[in-house]
Structure formats: structure tokens, C-alpha cells
């Protein structure tokens, strides 16, 4: 899949990406953004990022993928996967789907009338990373953080995706909080009560934040997301385009409870890091001093024919929690799929557990959570 081959295609000394036969310029956005919606929030603003399981106003998504990025042969199947996710979510909460003008008719046909389509300009479908991270406060205010998306460290062209956070904030009618930190929504997991899990490999990385120390990143995240404690996982630089996002390793399911992904294949690049993650999480407490309870979601040992390559994201941890349900992948491994569903049902007893075949999106190295961004209800 082309998206995951960017790690090998970067012309590191030229500041350009090699895309097929052409060179594509890459704009790095790593300083404060100025726009007429921007709001300078004081450091004691009391904003915090709520738990994903808290009520949503809606889910934001982006329809379709660039043929330049994914390869033309995959676009239709990716569209079908996105539409399937959107239609499923729309049974539980509103979905607002960004769509290019030229894709509007096909998006309407595939997504149906329950999904709201919004004309926009963007590069790729990963709303978790390009969209704003929404925060709220106890006074009933809401804002969106623009984390200066830079194509996961200039691994992919992103001029239009760099503007998605501002666009979505404007459409949501909320002020935009600016920061000099470069980050993505998939890199952080919160319990909504002051605790976060973050991978070092993603944020403490010169391809995003040159010169920033771990302490610098922690201080900024605590202010922006209303955190009192960050649990750091090592992650894995360079193994995938994201440099090891948290939402493929560990997720909060309720206060004091974390579910961690485990890759059982000893030959996999993620085997040792997932073992280390579990060890770290079992030794940790949350911001209130409560010992974490760690559940395990073991990945499948087999996948459907035609998808057996290293970049395929074969894990269940990238599920998405919505109003009344949890949307998770299935990979055709009957035993592992069933075990994952049972584990999620135990962890989310009051929600429907729905598994979807999203093989084409997984083939691009992502999952359901990666394609979505929740806007909290206040």
C-alpha cells in the first residue's frame, strides 16, 4: 500500500517527498497558527479533553482517499469501508463527513442520507490526526486544539490536511486553541479525569518537535488537555508512518481500567513493544493514585487472503466508542474476532459491540479510530 511506503520514499535531504515519479513539496506547520477564530486561552483555562465514552454531539470523518496516496485500485474499496463505518455510527449519533466536491455524488450514494456531507478540501482520510482535538470545561464551553498536522513528520504531503483542524472548528462554531507543539489525536489517550497515555516515539521526535524535551512536551500537553499525569509508553519510531500512535497500543475503557493490545507473533515488530507496554501499564496508577487494571486484546493470528503483508494493521485496539456502541474491526480469524468481541462486551457492558470488516483501511495501516474524531456534547 503506497501510504505506508512513504518511509522508504522520503528524499530526506531535499525537503520533498518522492511520490511515484514526481516530487511533491511538503509544508511543515510547527508554529502558532493565526486565524480569526483563534482564541488565546490562559494556562489556567480549565479546559480538558473528555473521555471518548462521554456523550458525543457527533462524529467527524473525511470521505475518500487520494489515488496519488493510496493507489487508484484501492480507492473504491476504501470508500466502501468509510461509508460502512459512517452508516454504522449514524445509527447511534450524527456523522459529519467532509467530502471533496468531485466525490459528493458517490459519497451520497454510498453513505446515505443519514450522514451529513460537508464540502471541503483535504488530502487524506485520517480525521483522528488532521481534525481538531476537542476540549471542554465545567462552564459548558468547548474549543478545538490545532496540533499543526505535518504529515506525521513530513512523510506525506499535507498542505490541505494542515487546514482541516481550523475548518472543522469553524464549522463546529468553536474557538481554535493554538500551540507550537506538533502532534496528532491518535497519539494521545485520556480517561477524562486527568490521566493520559502517550507514546514517546511520536511526540518526542525531531520530525515533529525538534528541540523539545520530554518535560517540554509534558508541560504543554498538561495545559492543553487538562492533565495531571501522563503515562509514557516507548512506542516505535519509524516502524509505521505515525511513529507508533497510542491508539494502536492502549485505550482507557473506564476509570482505572485500560485495555492494551498484544501482538502474539514473535516475528512481528510490535511483539516486544506490546509486551513492554503491558508491563509498564500494570505498574502504573492514574492521576488519582489508583492502580490501573489492565485487560488484554490479543491480535489475530490470521487474516483474510490477499492482505498478508507487514503494513496491514491487524489489531483490535483501534476501536471507536460512540453513543451506545463500540465499533471494532474483525479480520476473519473466527477465534480471535470472537475473543475480542467478548472482551469489549465485558469492558463496555452497556454498549452494543459491532464488528466491521475494514480490511482496505487496515491495509493502509489504520483503523476505525483513525478515521474518526468525536465532538463532545456539552
**Tens digit of each residue's pLDDT (9 = 90 or more) over 11-70:** 233 333 322 222 222 222 233 333 333 344 444 469 999 999 999 999 999 997 777 778
6/24 Cα distance (integer angstroms): 12
Q: What region does 334 belong to: left with phi over 0, alpha with psi -120 to 50, or beta?
A: alpha
Judge whether residue 9 has pLDDT over 80: no
pLDDT value for 3 = 40
pLDDT value for 184 = 98
263/297 Cα distance (integer angstroms): 9
pTM for the model stands at: 0.89
The mean pLDDT of the chain is: 89
228/241 Cα distance (integer angstroms): 29
Percent of the chain exceeding pLDDT 70 equals 88
Catalytic residues: 370
**Tens digit of each residue's pLDDT (9 = 90 or more) over 216-249:** 999 999 999 999 999 999 999 988 999 999 999 9
Ordered by start, the domain boundaries in the chain are: 2-33+56-373
As given in the structure block, the three cell numbers for residue 188 are 494521545
204/213 Cα distance (integer angstroms): 7
**Helix H or strand E segment including 170:** helix 164-172
As given in the structure block, the three cell numbers for residue 295 are 485487560
Where does 2-33+56-373 sit in CATH, by number? 3.75.10.10
**Tens digit of each residue's pLDDT (9 = 90 or more) over 103-146:** 999 999 999 999 999 999 999 999 999 999 999 999 999 999 99
pLDDT value for 45 = 64
| Furthest-apart CA atoms within the chain: distance in Å | 54
**Tens digit of each residue's pLDDT (9 = 90 or more) over 270-305:** 999 999 999 999 999 999 999 999 999 999 999 999
**Helix H or strand E segment including 129:** helix 127-130
39-43, 190-194, 256-260, range with the lowest pLDDT: 39-43
Amino acid at each position: 500500500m503506497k501510504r505506508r511506503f512513504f518511509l522508504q520514499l522520503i528524499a530526506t535531504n531535499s525537503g520533498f517527498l518522492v511520490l511515484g515519479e514526481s516530487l511533491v513539496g511538503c509544508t511543515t506547520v510547527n508554529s502558532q497558527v493565526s486565524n480569526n477564530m483563534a482564541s488565546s486561552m490562559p494556562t489556567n483555562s480549565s479546559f480538558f479533553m473528555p473521555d471518548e465514552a462521554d456523550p458525543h454531539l457527533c462524529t467527524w470523518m473525511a470521505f475518500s482517499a487520494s489515488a496519488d496516496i493510496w493507489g487508484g485500485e484501492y480507492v473504491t474499496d476504501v470508500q466502501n469501508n468509510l461509508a460502512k463505518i459512517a452508516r454504522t455510527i449514524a445509527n447511534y449519533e450524527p456523522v459529519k463527513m467532509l467530502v471533496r466536491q468531485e466525490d459528493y455524488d458517490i459519497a451520497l450514494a454510498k453513505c446515505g442520507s443519514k450522514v451529513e456531507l460537508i464540502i471541503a478540501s483535504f488530502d487524506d482520510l485520517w480525521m483522528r490526526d488532521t481534525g481538531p482535538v476537542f476540549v471542554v470545561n465545567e462552564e459548558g464551553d468547548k474549543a478545538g486544539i490545532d496540533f499543526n498536522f505535518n504529515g506525521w513528520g513530513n512523510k506525506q504531503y499535507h498542505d490541505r490536511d494542515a487546514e482541516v483542524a481550523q475548518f472543522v472548528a469553524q464549522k463546529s462554531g468553536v474557538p481554535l486553541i493554538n500551540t507550537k507543539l506538533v502532534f496528532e489525536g491518535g497519539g494521545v489517550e485520556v480517561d477524562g479525569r486527568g490521566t493520559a497515555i502517550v507514546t514517546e516515539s511520536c511526540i518526542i521526535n525531531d520530525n515533529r518537535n525538534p528541540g523539545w524535551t520530554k518535560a517540554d512536551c509534558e508541560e504543554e500537553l498538561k495545559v492543553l488537555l487538562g492533565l495531571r499525569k501522563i503515562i509514557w509508553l516507548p512506542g516505535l519510531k519509524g516502524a509505521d508512518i505515525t511513529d507508533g500512535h497510542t491508539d494502536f497500543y492502549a485505550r482507557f475503557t473506564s476509570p482505572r481500567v485500560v485495555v492494551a493490545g498484544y501482538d502474539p507473533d514473535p516475528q512481528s515488530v510490535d511483539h516486544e513493544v506490546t509486551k513492554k507496554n503491558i508491563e509498564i501499564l500494570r505498574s502504573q496508577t492514574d492521576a488519582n493514585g489508583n492502580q490501573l487494571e489492565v485487560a488484554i486484546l490479543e491480535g489475530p493470528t490470521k487474516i483474510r487472503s490477499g492482505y498478508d503483508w507487514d503494513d496491514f494493521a491487524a489489531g483490535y485496539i483501534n476501536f471507536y466508542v460512540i453513543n451506545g456502541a463500540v465499533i471494532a474491526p474483525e479480520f476473519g480469524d473466527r477465534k480471535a474476532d470472537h475473543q475480542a468481541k467478548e472482551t469489549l462486551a465485558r469492558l463496555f457492558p452497556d454498549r452494543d459491540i459491532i464488528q466491521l470488516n475494514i480490511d482496505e483501511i487496515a491495509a493502509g495501516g489504520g483503523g476505525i479510530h483513525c478515521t474518526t474524531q468525536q465532538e463532545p456534547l456539552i
